[in-house]
Structure 1
C-alpha cells in the first residue's frame, strides 16, 4: 500500500506482471510528451508511446521498455497497462538491431501508406528498445529489489 510519500505502481502486459511495488516517482513516455508522476499526483488517464518507463525508489531505479499502452493515476496508485514491455536488461541488443535493420530495409520497399505506417512503427519500436537498453547500461544505477513471491 502506498504511503502519503510514495506511489504504488503496477506494470502489466497481457502476458505478465513486470513491476508491483512502491515508488518515489514514475517517468513515462506519454502521448503528449514525457510525464513525471510524483506522490499525490492528480487523477490522470493517458496513452503511452514507445519509450522508457522509469520507476524510481530512493537511490534505485527500474528501467523498462514499453511499446505503448495506457497509464492511469488514481489515489497514489499508478497502473500501467502496456501493449508489450520488458526490463531494460532483458532487451537482446542483437535482436533489436536486426529488427531495426529489417524494418529500415522493408520501409524503402513499402507499397502502400498502410504498410509504410506499420513499418515506421516497427522501426520506432526497435530504435527505442535499443535506446532504452543503452540508457539503462550507461546509468548503471542500482535496481529496485522486489520482494520474492512465494
Structure 2
C-alpha cells in the first residue's frame, strides 16, 4: 500500500454525528447530502462551507460502486478542506432500516396527527414523525 496521496486518491475525513453519538467515522471519496438548497456533492479540497440539511438520503462514497447510505434528518454539514462533519438529529444506515417498523411508525404518526385536534404541539410532533418514517421508506425504495 502506498503512503503517497495523489489528488485523485485524496479522501475526506467524515464524521456523521447525532445526539446519541457517532453513526459513521471514516474516510470517503465523496459526500452527497440533502441540503435545503438541493443535493450537494463534496469532494476533497472543497472550499469551506456550512450547509443546512433537510431530511433525506446522505450518501458516503467509499469507492466507485461502494456507498454507505444513511436516512438522515435535519441538521447541518460543515466542510473545511478535507474534513466533513455532519450533525443531524437522526441518522439510520440503510441496512438497519426495517420496512415493517417504518410502516408501523408511519401509521402510528398519521393516527396521532388525526387525533391531535387543536393541540399544535402534538400535531407538530406527529408531523415530524411522519416525515421521519416517510424518509426511511424513501431511502429503502431508492436503494432496494
TM-score with structure 2 length normalisation? 0.84
Larger relative strand fraction: 2
1:106 Cα shift? 2.2
Larger radius of gyration: 2
Say whether 1:98 aligns with 2:104: yes
How far apart are the structure 2 equivalents of 1:97 and 1:39? 37
Partner residue of 1:83?
89
> What SS does the corresponding residue of 1:42 show, helix, strand or coil?
strand
SS in structure 1 opposite 2:71? strand
Aligned-pair Cα RMSD in Å: 1.7
Identify which of 9, 19, 40 aligns with 2:14: 9
1:12-91 → structure 2 map (5 Å cutoff):
12-59=17-64, 60-91=66-97
Determine the C-alpha separation between the residues in 1 that align with 2:117 and 2:23: 37
* Unpaired segments ≥5 residues, structure 2: none
How far has the Cα of 1:101 moved from its partner?
0.8
Question: How many residues are paired up?
Answer: 135
Normalised TM-score (structure 1): 0.81
| Gapped regions of structure 1 (runs ≥ 5) | 138-150
